[in-house]
Structure 1
Amino acid sequence: MAESRTSSRFAVVGGGVAGLVVARRLVASGAAVTLFEASDRLGGTVARHEVGGLALDAGAESFAVRGGVVAALLAELGLADDIVAPTPGPAWLQPVTGEAVPLPATALLGIPSDPLAADVVRVVGRAAAERAVELDARPVEAVPPTLGALVRDRFGDEVLDRLVAPVVHGVHSQHPDDVPVARAHPGLADAVASAGSLGAAVAQLRAAAPPGSAVAGLRGGVNRIVPALAEDLTRRGGDIRLSTPVDDIATLDGIVVVAAPSLAAPGAPGRRIDLVTLVVEQDELDAAPRGTGLLVAAGAPVGARALTHATAKWAWLRDAAAGRHVLRLSYDATPADPVAAALADAETLLGVPLPVVVDAAHVSWVRPAAAVPPGGVTVVGETVAGSGLAGLIAHAERTASELLTR
């Protein structure tokens, strides 16, 4: 990105990834930037922890490749050679009843291009598939604002609840009813309008998508982006102040950018997410019986909403684990005994016993609620950009560019 020079002064409140990105871009253009972080560490929910002697991501472990914004930033930070693709193969779905099945192959966020495809019918049932075809044959009058409303209108409740909701929840940590269509996929609304049906729109978008995985990771963990951003920001002259809470942004010098959820959306309730990481020994997992992991339909006989078989998903981690297996299970409702619950759920979802647990860790964080920024306040981060590194970074980069052109 081309960088102009400016003499403005900025104060960035919040040291998560969005705050670090906007601060770095501002200081690279010659601005004087001070970043305030209330805690004693940077990165927010992008964090590192050690489990079973392995350095692992304690939050996000992949990013969407769409738009190339994350890859471009990693290249600027000297990390381009460490970008890795996950192991090829389908994710799996644990339905409400029955055994786990591979997710349909021709789908976008779980939305099938052909509801009558055998792998779709296996999940939603023949009656629901035929109902979806009937609904989607109607003329498109207007595209609803949320993904849940769109799928419900064009494909019906069963396809939404049994297939789309688990996938969207796994990607966005939200129900489709809470995800705007534009955030789910920026071209989906136009595609539905032009194609005349949801199924045809999905087929059109999939055909136009570049080959390869929709997500990527970083060798050693996505958390490596945090120290890389901090080091580059400091090298360029930025001032990072840890353990420095800001209660009143009016006391700060210069133009203020708020990257702290508590200030961006004061009083707005967030949603707690729990992650349990298990390091286990079990030779039966060498064959990856559920691929790189499973998404779980609401009402299934487990408490977890998703399981990632991390050592099956990432070759670098499989090598580092030296025969052990790393499993990540996420929860919307905190179990009374998170590790015990995760172990029981993992055995159910994977279909194998797990008698040897080398180590386990439980972390939690609050996903902030969406918010409309107060007038005159510039906000970056999840409250305005949603979850996912690609969206956070793209929004922070755009915000920095807008500030620099004012």
Structure 2
Amino acid sequence: MTSEHSPELAARAAQQHVVVIGGGIGGLVAARECAKVGMRVTLLEASETLGGSIRTAELDGVVVDVGAESFATRGGHVRALVDELGLGDSVVSPQGGGAWLCGIPDAEDAPLPAGSLLGIPANPFQDDVRRIIGWRGAWRAYIDRLRPPLTVGHERSLGRLVGSRMGARVRDRLVAPVTAGVYSADPDDVDTDVAAPGLNAALTRIGSLSGAVGLLAAERKGKVPGAAVLGLVGGMGRLVEALRADLAAYGVELRTGTRAIRLDREAGRWTVGIESLSDEGADAPAETSLTATGVIVATAEPPARHLIDPHVSGLGDPGAAPAIEIVTLLLDAPELDAAPRGSGVLTVPGSHTAKALTHSTAKWGWLREAAAGRHLVRVSFGSQGEPAATAALDDAAAAALALSEASALLGVALREPQLLAAHRARHVQAQPSSLIGATERRAAIRTAVTAISGLAVVGAWVAGTGLAQVIPDAVAEADRLRAGLLWD
């Protein structure tokens, strides 16, 4: 924005009113981008709290993340926002060592092998790999090295690629626990090029899958080292609070307990039908609509589709979204002081009721200090196409099941009197971005939405799951919308 055009653009910006529907991280970032250029912005959030998948709770005086607890460092976008908001000094790396694997058929629980990619080993005879897949699995995986290069093809399914090259034991015992824990998906449904960029190309160059993993590992060594994920002292909820304060400074009107129920468009302007879900001000006349020059829909997929369906064609079918439950336990368990299973545990699918566990006080030093000798663990249930085992349970029964699973996964006998407090959180995730076809599906939705002037859609269902995808997408979409409003 050049200086000679700034007064004119500032005047145009002041004439705009953007309504952002949804107060998750995508909506907060998009609202900030529009407000930064002087646009009037109103943000509507149906619940009483902001943050979406970033949630906190207090367990016996300890504030903990019960949603997203970290952010991926790839791309640097999340870290850049954290720094802009003045939280750079609070960024921390995870501790506690690597994760363990539980539920291995005919084998003891063991640490996840080092030097692997999504569980795919570079050397199947490595001791920590062979401990999990056995000699039979190691020799079957070694056949991958002997296959002629001419048999190498481009396989989109990660599970089929691993199974055909290295055998069922590598796929089921090493790769499936990782894809279930990270993507809530079966490896056969995971897109190789999305989950492991460059793997197919390296396979073509090297001629073996294990060799391709080794090549990618060698290439990574030449890059700046660092953790794949980072957290914040005090929890990820601080990011939401910093965004809230920043939006307030920019003059953004934040309305919680207010739901958008419809969108209408006439003569280039939008009308957003709203309803209040809060009792506050119940005696006052109910406001039923807002007018806007631009609308950013930042909700989960079902309510977003309800709002934009009358205006957008070509959205395709809704994506299947796994329902995940996370039960966080605060424990008086000195036997966990030595972090017997590192920072957490993944399970071989079908072996345990829980799909994963995070030993939070082993993983985050700041949380260990806040817990003052007590321990926090997060037990995760549910996956793609599989309802969470806790879904039909009441809170007490869900906590009891989580305690039982934690005991089994950590290899420590935990008893009910050791449970000091528990919190249960349900998350309906967007369709995992790693699934086959998800990239094309999101691209088609984006194309359909951008054809409608003054409308943008952000959030995990169109950007891909994870803050590292949601945040830069929200910035780009807000920039596209505001450019259209200012110049068109």
Change (3 A) 1:395 1:177: farther
Give 2:27's match in structure 1, choosing from 19, 22, 34. 19
TM-score, normalising length from structure 1?
0.91
Who is 2:474 aligned against? 396
Deviates more, 1:320-329 or 1:376-385: 376-385
**Would you identify which runs of 4 or more consecutive aligned residues in structure 1 move more than 4 Å?**
265-269
Give 1:360's match in structure 2, choosing from 422, 425, 429. 422
Contact 1:15 1:36 in 2 (8 A): yes
Aligned equivalents of 1:306, 1:129: Cα separation in 2:
25
- Displacement of 1:265 after TM fit? 4.7
1:5-404 alignment, distance < 5 Å: 7=13, 8-87=16-95, 89-97=97-105, 98-135=107-144, 137-139=147-149, 141-209=152-220, 210-250=224-264, 251-252=271-272, 253-261=292-300, 262-265=302-305, 269-300=320-351, 302-332=352-382, 333-335=388-390, 336=393, 337-355=397-415, 356-369=418-431, 372=442, 373=445, 375-376=448-449, 378-404=456-482
Q: Which amino acid aligns with 2:461?
A: T
- Displacement of 1:153 after TM fit? 3.9
Aligned equivalents of 1:320, 1:245: Cα separation in 2:
36
Change (3 A) 1:162 1:265: farther
Deviates more, 1:313-322 or 1:59-68: 59-68
Q: Which amino acid aligns with 2:400?
A: A
Aligned equivalents of 1:259, 1:132: Cα separation in 2:
45
Aligned equivalents of 1:52, 1:236: Cα separation in 2:
35
- Displacement of 1:379 after TM fit? 2.3
Q: Which amino acid aligns with 2:344?
A: G
Change (3 A) 1:11 1:176: farther
Aligned equivalents of 1:214, 1:322: Cα separation in 2:
27
Q: Which whole-Å deviations, capped at 9, do the CAs of 1:47-99 have from their partners, x for residues lacking one?
A: 01011221000111112112222111100111010000011522111133333
Contact 2:357 2:379 in 1 (8 A): yes
Query: Which is greater in Rg?
Result: 2
Aligned equivalents of 1:265, 1:149: Cα separation in 2:
33
Change (3 A) 1:352 1:382: same
Contact 2:96 2:339 in 1 (8 A): no
Contact 2:324 2:380 in 1 (8 A): yes
Aligned equivalents of 2:73, 2:20: Cα separation in 1:
27
Change (3 A) 1:354 1:237: same
**Secondary structure, counterpart of 2:420 in structure 1:** strand
- Displacement of 1:392 after TM fit? 1.7
Aligned equivalents of 1:183, 1:400: Cα separation in 2:
25
- Displacement of 1:160 after TM fit? 1.8
Deviates more, 1:336-345 or 1:315-324: 336-345
Instruction: In structure 2, list runs of 5 or more residues that go unmatched.
Output: 265-270, 273-291, 307-317, 383-387, 432-437, 451-455
Change (3 A) 1:128 1:242: same
Change (3 A) 1:246 1:180: farther
- Displacement of 1:40 after TM fit? 1.5
Aligned equivalents of 2:17, 2:202: Cα separation in 1:
43
Contact 1:173 1:387 in 2 (8 A): no
Aligned equivalents of 2:174, 2:413: Cα separation in 1:
27
**Secondary structure, counterpart of 1:326 in structure 2:** strand
Change (3 A) 1:26 1:141: farther
Deviates more, 1:345-354 or 1:310-319: 345-354
Aligned equivalents of 1:403, 1:196: Cα separation in 2:
46
Contact 1:93 1:297 in 2 (8 A): yes
Instruction: In structure 1, list runs of 5 or more residues that go unmatched.
Output: none
- Displacement of 1:269 after TM fit? 4.6
Contact 1:95 1:123 in 2 (8 A): no
- Displacement of 1:141 after TM fit? 4.7
Aligned equivalents of 2:89, 2:378: Cα separation in 1:
26
**Secondary structure, counterpart of 1:111 in structure 2:** coil
Over the matched positions of the two proteins, sequence identity in percent amounts to 45
- Displacement of 1:149 after TM fit? 3.7
Q: Which whole-Å deviations, capped at 9, do the CAs of 1:301-322 have from their partners, x for residues lacking one?
A: x311111111111111111111
Contact 2:345 2:409 in 1 (8 A): yes
Q: Which amino acid aligns with 2:226?
A: G
Deviates more, 1:98-107 or 1:187-196: 187-196
Q: Which whole-Å deviations, capped at 9, do the CAs of 1:259-298 have from their partners, x for residues lacking one?
A: 2122345565532111111111122111111011111111
